[in-house]
Structure formats: C-alpha cells, structure tokens
A and B are shown apart, each in its own frame.
Chain A
Amino acid sequence: MAINLLRLAVIQLPQDVKQALQHAYETETSPAGKTNLKTILDNIKLAEQTGTPVCQDTGTIIYYVKAGAQTQDLDKIETALTNATRKATQQIPLRPNAVDPLNGKNTGDNTGAHIPYVHWEIVPGNDVEITVLTKGGGSENVCTTGMLVPGEGLKGLKKFVVDTVVKAGSQPCPPNILGVAMGGGADIAMKLAKKALLRPLNQPNPNPELAKLEDELLEAVNQLGIGPMGLGGKWTILGVKIDYAARHPASFPAAVAFNCWAARRATARIGADGRVEYLTHKVR
C-alpha cells in the first residue's frame, strides 16, 4: 500500500495543484512565466502518460500517520513504512536522497537515521490514515523559522513572510505553495507550517480570520514580480496555508515552509478490514 502511495505521489500531482497551475498559466502575463508554466503543464501530462516521476528530486520521504487508537499492530507501522520506502526506491524508481551527514555517503535506498520520518497522531477509531509528502530539496533549502518581536504582532508576521519570499527568490522552483505558522515554539511553528502544506489549495482556511490573512498574504507576495522560475511574472506563489499554536507571552515564533509547484502528496485510509481507500487520487 505504501509503495502505491509513493508511486501516486511522485507521478501524479493532486487535482487541486494541477488546477492551480492551469489557472496560473492562463492568467500569467510575462512571456517567460507563461513559457515555464506551459513546460510545467506539459511535463505533468507526460509524467502521467509515461508513469515517470514528475520531478527527478523525489524528495525526502515524510509520512503523516493518523492512527486509530484501537488499530491492531500499530507498533509495526513504522517498520512497514521504512521497508516500503526501500522497495519503492527500487521499483518506481525514486532517487536515493538519504545522505549520512557525518561521512557524506548516500545510503542508496532513501532510508537512514530518522528517515523516512513519521509524524504520529493518535485519534479515536480503528483505521489508519497515511499521508506521504515527498519533499523536494530546493524548496526545503529556503524554509525559514524566525523568532519575531511579540509587540509587532501580525504586522511582524506579514513582514517576515514577504521578506522570506524575497530572499528565496528564484531558488525554490516558483510558483510555490507556502505553509505559514505562528506560535508554539521554533520547532512547533515549523512543524505546523509544513503540515499546512498538506491542505488542498482549493480548501480555504476554516477560520475566517486566517482565510482573510491567507488571501492578503497571497496577493502581497504575488506583487513582488519574481514569477515562475524566478524569470519574472505574477505567479510567484500558488497559495498560502496558515496554522497556529498558542505562544509564550515573550515569544512570537513564526515559520514559513515552501513546497515546490510539484507539490507531491498522497493520502490513503486503511480500514480495520484491511480495505484501502485512496483519498487524494483516483485509483481504478
């Protein structure tokens, strides 16, 4: 199941991402931007037709597991996911992207210390929902955490987001998706920001105040003119997704996580009877 999930993720982008890219292509005004968006759309189609990964950087493999507390064999899931990652690397194939930071050696199979990383959430029930995020390195390199000044409030956050997008410039393969989070702590903010990338682009924030902030930030960063691939244009960011946690009175942690336009994610639910239902992709 996890091998299939990885296969779906790296070959077929979710519908909401494809729609957003199509809309960007139709409304982009810069010629270089339009050329690049056309190449992106052609590439997505070709990848689906030929069953090859959309991007050669098949990312660092991260799983988000929402496990029903009554599920059998919960303790076996992490090993199963690691084994599936190893097999998928061979079978799909994926690019081996796990390097030992101490000796610089590539492990060759996308597994290594703490990798694939598994985020756990225990929920009531007896089924398990597994999401895989194959996170590209180019967009990861510009993810930023900031400890802002509490007295500046949301204005400080807005400035931080705009500055981070300016600094990232052409590097993360724009148009990107931004996950933004505030509060919690340095680690919690980045964890929430990255998890916010999983929310579909066409799904507005359920909190109206945050939904408004998402729209405001999206409009703002798309006035920078960085454009597709940083060659100029109006589409620098496809969507902004915000989450937050309560903060310490003395701290205002904030985090901005970037995802590539090739926003590869896939989710499946395994029922207590073993039945698998794919939630992000249509599977025949």
Chain B
Amino acid sequence: MATYKLKTPISEEDVRKLKIDDVLFITGTIVTARDQAHRRALDWAKEGKKLPIDLKGLAVFHCGPIVKKEGDKWIAVAAGPTTSTRMDIFEDEFIKNFGVRVVIGKGGMGKRTTEAMKKYGAVYGAFTGGAAALAAKAIKNVRAVEWYDLGMPEALWIFEVEEFGPLSVAIDSHGNNIFEQIAKTAEENRAKIYEKLGIGK
C-alpha cells in the first residue's frame, strides 16, 4: 500500500503505477458528472460536438454537490461522492472518448468499467461516501458550471482541488477490482452464516 499525490493532467504512465489498495490524493482539475451528464456527454460525442471542457488527463467525479452563489462566485458547500454503479452503463465509453484518468466515486464499478480502465489506462478512486464536508474543504475554487439546465446535482461542476482525498484505489489499470473481490468474499461467507442461523439453502 503506497500513497501517491498526482497533479492533473495525469499521464497514462503515472496512472499505470497505481495498484489496488494504494491511496491517492489529486491536485488540479476534477469535473463532476452523474447519470444525466454522462448521457449528454456521450450523445454529444456521437454527434461530434465538443464538450464544454477537455477532460483528457482529468478526473471525473461522481458527485452531485451542494453549491451556493455568493455574489457572482460559486462556493462548494458539500461535495461527497454518489453511488458509481449507476454510471456503469456509460463509463467505458466515457473513458474511451474523453481520456479521463481517474474516476472518483463510491460503491465501486463493474466489469465493463474495469476492462475499459485496463485498456485505456484509468483507475477508480473510492472516496468515503458521505464525507461531503471534507471533500468541500479540498475544493479551492469552483472554476465554472456547465449544463446547469440539468439541475444542481446533475450539472458539470468544474472544481480546482488541492490534495483531494484520501482516495482508495479500488480498481486499477491492470484489471484488479477490490469490490469484485469483496463481493466474492461475502458470497463465500454467506454459506457459513446460513449454517449458523440454521437456514437451509
């Protein structure tokens, strides 16, 4: 278990160094995107339209933050991760099309995403779900908001962050996925628990 501090844009070489169980802190630009933003981004890519921001080497953050406006400036009040599994249907194409190097979220992602991370060079950094105040503290500036018509939680928020983390590298670019391993362990333990509770199959 090693600790890495990376700055965006992150290179493929740097991201390939990361292994599951490593701890990662990110400094630079991270962009939030949830279900709706993922869908629109992929639609736009299909139509050949350019996204409002070039995501290459950046981190995409599964997050619907609370942001407030003071004067003409947005302030991130609370910005923890949302459940990533909902984005599983989009993420492989998202990584392929836009070249993001880190996907930040909670709860993990499945096979399709794990394979795309292996193929294109990206990792999944699990941030503690609900730790929204700590996350907001690492956000030094809200650079812009795009696609605000999707609503506050679903818009693309472009954050400048300093040492955003700790992120647990839970899917690396070598095909390893902690969540898959833990799910397997839970399956194995279930049989023993059944027995203890006196439950048949």
Contact residues of A with B, CB < 8 Å?
31-32, 35-36, 39-40, 42-43, 46-47, 50, 52-58, 93-97, 99, 104-106, 108, 136-138, 141, 155, 158-159, 162-163, 166, 169-171, 173, 216, 220-221, 223-232, 260-262
25 intermolecular pairs with C-beta atoms under 8 Å apart: A31-B1, A35-B166, A35-B168, A36-B128, A40-B130, A46-B133, A46-B134, A50-B133, A54-B130, A56-B78, A57-B80, A93-B68, A96-B153, A104-B36, A106-B152, A158-B197, A162-B199, A166-B187, A171-B85, A173-B130, A221-B193, A223-B189, A226-B182, A228-B128, A229-B107
| CA gap between A228 and B107 in the complex, in Å | 10
B160-177 vs A, CB cutoff 8 Å, 1 = contact: the mask equals 000000101010000000
Taking a contact as CB atoms closer than 8 A, the residue among B65, B106, B197 that contacts A216 in the complex is B197
- Whether B79 is near chain A, meaning CB under 8 Å from some CB there, is yes
The prevalent SS among residues of B at the interface is mixed
| CA gap between A114 and B43 in the complex, in Å | 33
A138 near B179: Cβ-Cβ < 8 Å: no
Residues on the A chain within 8 Å of B166, using CB: 35, 39
- Whether B23 is near chain A, meaning CB under 8 Å from some CB there, is yes
B21 near A32: Cβ-Cβ < 8 Å: yes
Residues on the A chain within 8 Å of B64, using CB: 56-57, 95
The answer to whether A47 and B197 touch (CB under 8 A), given A93-B77, A138-B82, A138-B83, is no
The 5 closest A-B pairs by CB, nearest first: A106-B151, A173-B129, A56-B78, A43-B131, A56-B132
Instruction: Report the interface size for chain B: residues with CB under 8 A from the other chain.
Output: 54
Residues on the B chain within 8 Å of A137, using CB: 82-83
- Whether B46 is near chain A, meaning CB under 8 Å from some CB there, is no
B151 near A155: Cβ-Cβ < 8 Å: no
B78 near A232: Cβ-Cβ < 8 Å: no
Residues on the B chain within 8 Å of A50, using CB: 133
| CA gap between A224 and B197 in the complex, in Å | 13
**B200: shortest Cβ distance to chain A, in Å?**
8
Residues on the A chain within 8 Å of B137, using CB: 46
**B162: shortest Cβ distance to chain A, in Å?**
16
**A134: shortest Cβ distance to chain B, in Å?**
12
B185 near A159: Cβ-Cβ < 8 Å: no
Residues on the A chain within 8 Å of B82, using CB: 57, 137-138
**B157: shortest Cβ distance to chain A, in Å?**
11
A95 near B152: Cβ-Cβ < 8 Å: yes
**A135: shortest Cβ distance to chain B, in Å?**
13
Taking a contact as CB atoms closer than 8 A, the residue among B133, B153, B178 that contacts A231 in the complex is B178
| CA gap between A90 and B186 in the complex, in Å | 42
**A242: shortest Cβ distance to chain B, in Å?**
15
B78 near A53: Cβ-Cβ < 8 Å: yes
| CA gap between A229 and B166 in the complex, in Å | 13
A261 near B196: Cβ-Cβ < 8 Å: no
The answer to whether A225 and B182 touch (CB under 8 A), given A56-B132, A138-B107, A155-B197, is yes
Residues on the A chain within 8 Å of B108, using CB: 170, 230
A229 near B129: Cβ-Cβ < 8 Å: yes
Max chain A C-beta neighbours (<10 A), residue from B23, B79, B152: B152
The answer to whether A93 and B128 touch (CB under 8 A), given A32-B21, A159-B199, A162-B193, is no
Tell me the nearest residue of chain A to B181, going by C-beta. Answer: A232
A169 near B194: Cβ-Cβ < 8 Å: no
The answer to whether A138 and B129 touch (CB under 8 A), given A171-B83, A232-B182, is yes
